[in-house]
Amino acid sequence: MQKKGISIIGEEYGASEKVPENARNFNFLDQAILWFGAASLPAAWYYGALMAGFAGLPGAFLLIFVFSTLIFIPWALLGYIASKTGASSMALVRPAFGIKGSRLPSVFYLIFGFGWGAVNVFLAAIAMSFIFNAWLGWPAFLQPGYQSHMIVSILVICLLQGIFAVAGHKIIKWMEWIAVLSLIVLGAYQTYLVVTSWGFSSLLNWRPPLEGLKATFGSGIFSITYTITFALLIDLLIAYNWTFQFIGDFSRFSKKPRDGSLGPFIGANIAQWWWFFVGALGVVFLAVSTGSYNPVASDPSSTTTRLGFGWIAYIVILAATISTNAGNIYASALGMSNINPGHKSKMRTLLLISAAVIVPVSLVPLLSPNFVGFYIFFLDFLGAIVVPMWTLTLVDYFFVREKKYTGDIFRERGAYWYKNGWNVPAIATLILGTIIYWVIGYGFPRLREKYTAAIPTMIIISFVYYFWAKKAGAKTGAG
């Protein structure tokens, strides 16, 4: 009997395998629901709180409903390419970077998966710390002496998500549905309490301090200080949205290209509109009620605690994070399979390895005295990688190849072999893009407060790669 829907993902097709037509069982609604669930996570709640640090709720609404929506368009186009070709996200980069050259983006893919896995684990561990506080009397997040107890919380979360990731996608699917529905109820009730307590107009009129919010990552000569500005938030928003890197891994199962692009676009946008809004509203409520804006304490667990919610809310936040993190574990497993496509490791083995690697990475946020600074640095670091990588992929497909990719994506030799498997123009431009982003972001911090690092990077590498690839005579063979 042929398997249907999400149950076939991760069991039959690796990163370098084409999904045949008879296995493409996801329609528009399936994709929209899947991505609504994938984007419904506490990290969105937390980033919504950061958005309010720019100009209060009006500034947050501009970022949420206008710029986040626009930023998702290029990301959704990756789903279109995956649907047309039946290729995973890591296979999509092969025509641009070469069969062997795609291993470099695969390494980046691992960074995305492990990094987001670690951030999500930390946010879930905050919820677990409140549960342990209620059950055992241990200090919860931000209470004196909480750091050592957070290690236990992190290890528990890693164990739970590892079990669910390896158990199978059917269990994950139902867990995600329950978590999403519970989060909607929790978020709606929080919004009701916040608005009825203070009135929407008073919340709308709140503004952050005139000197602006600053967050620091690291210490001493290795410290980086960020000022929360519109330009910085745009860069972080691009990094946040574009590091849903596994869009191709799911869109390749779509019946139609429209389903694999528009479905994720609608589902992810609706989820983020809602959760960014809840996060922004929650932190402004805390600022109005306490007299200080403190995004460190605006994570979902701390916010719900101040609003009087109990351990049931923490369980909901835990479930949402663990179910979403299964996608990061799966994406990382696919990245490993593309780095060494000839290896015969089973998908379940790669899932176990991915789940294990996330454990030590999840402890890294404890090394930073300020989670806000760590969170911003993490997104900024990912932006320097994801912006040039996906920009080059889109330029290659739509402009260099003129929307014509051949079946050589799935073969070792062929049109995408280039020089011993490496496409030098793409590899060199990818490295150039990362350098440009970092130079703007860290070499000229005052300039970065007014202008983004992502947009100049996109423009420069698009022109460089297009003309270099055309001069090199990149083929546009029939698809």
DSSP string, 398-431: IIIS-S---GGGGSSSSTT-TBTTB-HHHHHHHH
Q: Is 4's pLDDT higher than 70?
A: no
Select, from the ranges 238-247, 390-399, 407-416, the one with the highest average predicted confidence (pLDDT): 390-399
What digits encode the pLDDT tens for the residues 41-65? Answer: 778 888 888 898 888 999 999 999 9
* Cβ-based neighbours of 156, under 8 Å, separated by 6 or more: 125, 128
Give the number of other Cβ atoms within 10 Å of residue 445's Cβ. Answer: 14
CA distances from 43 to 135, 184, 200, 231, 443 (A): 25, 15, 24, 20, 28
* Cβ-based neighbours of 410, under 8 Å, separated by 6 or more: 16, 17, 18, 87, 91
* Cβ-based neighbours of 45, under 8 Å, separated by 6 or more: 275, 276, 278, 279, 282, 299, 300, 303
pLDDT of residue 299: 66
The rounded distance, in Å, linking the Cα atoms of 460 and 466 is 10
Q: Is 85's pLDDT higher than 70?
A: yes
Map tokens 């083995």 to a residue.
349
pLDDT of residue 79: 95
CA distances from 17 to 90, 337, 399 (A): 10, 11, 25
The rounded distance, in Å, linking the Cα atoms of 231 and 241 is 16
What digits encode the pLDDT tens for the residues 139-157? Answer: 988 888 888 899 999 998 8
- Is the CB of residue 102 less than 8 Å from the CB of residue 409? no
Q: Is 187's pLDDT higher than 80?
A: no
H or E element: which one contains 396? none
**For the ranges 209-218, 402-411, 457-466, which has the lowest average pLDDT?**
209-218
What digits encode the pLDDT tens for the residues 223-256? Answer: 788 888 999 999 999 999 998 888 988 899 888 9
H or E element: which one contains 125? helix 103-136
User: SS3 breakdown of the chain: % helix, strand, coil, rounded to 5?
Assistant: 75, 5, 25
Give the number of other Cβ atoms within 10 Å of residue 207's Cβ. Answer: 15
pLDDT of residue 165: 66
The rounded distance, in Å, linking the Cα atoms of 348 and 11 is 8
Q: Is 2's pLDDT higher than 60?
A: no
Superfamily holding 5-382? Hydantoin permease (1.10.4160.10)
Query: What is the DSSP secondary-structure string of 180-223?
Result: HHHHHHHHHHHHHHHHHHH-HHHHHH----TT--EEEES-GGG-
What digits encode the pLDDT tens for the residues 189-199? Answer: 777 777 777 67
Q: 214 - beta bridge partners?
A: 227
Tokens of 17: 């395998």
What 3 state SS string does 46-98 have? HHHHHHHHHHHHHHHHHHHHHHHHHHHHHHHHHHHHHHHHCCCHHHHCHHHHC
Q: Indicate the pTM of the whole model.
A: 0.85
Select, from the ranges 13-27, 73-87, 306-320, the one with the highest average predicted confidence (pLDDT): 73-87
The rounded distance, in Å, linking the Cα atoms of 213 and 441 is 17
Q: 225 - beta bridge partners?
A: 216
The rounded distance, in Å, linking the Cα atoms of 21 and 6 is 15
pLDDT of residue 84: 92
Map tokens 């069982």 to a residue.
25
Query: What is the DSSP secondary-structure string of 129-198?
Result: HHHHHHHH----TTSTTHHHHHHHHHHHHHHHHHHHHHH-HHHHHHHHHHHHHHHHHHHHHHHHHHHHHH
Domain ranges of the chain: 5-382
pLDDT of residue 112: 81
The rounded distance, in Å, linking the Cα atoms of 276 and 265 is 16
